[in-house]
Chains A and B, each alone.
Chain A
Amino acid sequence: GAVVSQHPSWVICKSGTSVKIECRSLDFQATTMFWYRQFPKQSLMLMATSNEGSKATYEQGVEKDKFLINHASLTLSTLTVTSAHPEDSSFYICSARVGGSYGYTFGSGTRLTVV
């Protein structure tokens, strides 16, 4: 149980295009989801907190207009990288709180390459 499904696993796109990444909680409801970015051999950096039915909360230094987050239902949050550039190439991963003694669970991540 407590699975977060993230798609796509990897994507290659051209500069200037937009890419949407989806995270779905499969067997629980996720009022809040978190989006992270990870560069090679580095830690995970929190980008934003996604709240169902309301605007996302972005961390300092993260461009709201570049990384659009939508959390329209209790089981789906999306991250759209708009007008992607090569410097946006990274590993993006989402998570949600399961609760109880399980804590948080993570999606499998999306490796984005912008060419």
Chain B
Amino acid sequence: GIQVEQSPPDLILQEGANSTLRCNFSDSVNNLQWFHQNPWGQLINLFYIPSGTKQNGRLSATTVATERYSLLYISSSQTTDSGVYFCAVDDKIIFGKGTRLHILP
């Protein structure tokens, strides 16, 4: 089956910093989404982005389908951005292992 790798696994940043999270996948995909899992476990849908670039406030994402990767950018980080960010692909929504982001005040 398709493999999804996320990097880095952990990231600690000071408030205000920018960050880039990466998702590599082993085969072509029809679907790709980025999620933020909050401390209560709820998965917040950030982007549905099988290709191209999207922006929503301080967050943006780019997927280069031909090279099988996607990037999530977080600018001017806030403490509320802390949590786990997951990339999920394909019709079965296969998840990567996530990036655990911790923003320090």
Which A residues are within 8 Å of any B CB, using their own CB?
A: 34, 36, 38, 42-46, 49, 91, 93, 95, 97, 101-106, 108-109, 111
Contacts and interface: CB of A to CB of B under 8 A. Distances in A.
A44 B86 contact: yes
Interface string B82-98: 00001010011111111
A43 B23 CA distance: 14
B45 interface: yes
A43 B33 contact: no
Contacts of A105: 45
Given A93-B41, A106-B43, A109-B41, A44 B31 contact: no
A104 B45 CA distance: 8
A34 B93 contact: yes
B42 interface: yes
A1 B91 CA distance: 21
Given A103-B33, A104-B33, A108-B41, A46 B94 contact: yes
A112 to B, nearest CB: 12
Contacts of B45: 102-106
Contacts of B92: 34, 46, 49
A104 B98 contact: no
B93 A43 contact: no
5 contacts: A44-B88, A45-B95, A102-B48, A104-B88, A109-B43
For the complex of A and B, the 7 pairs showing the least CB-CB separation, nearest first, are A103-B48, A106-B43, A109-B41, A44-B95, A43-B97, A43-B95, A103-B33
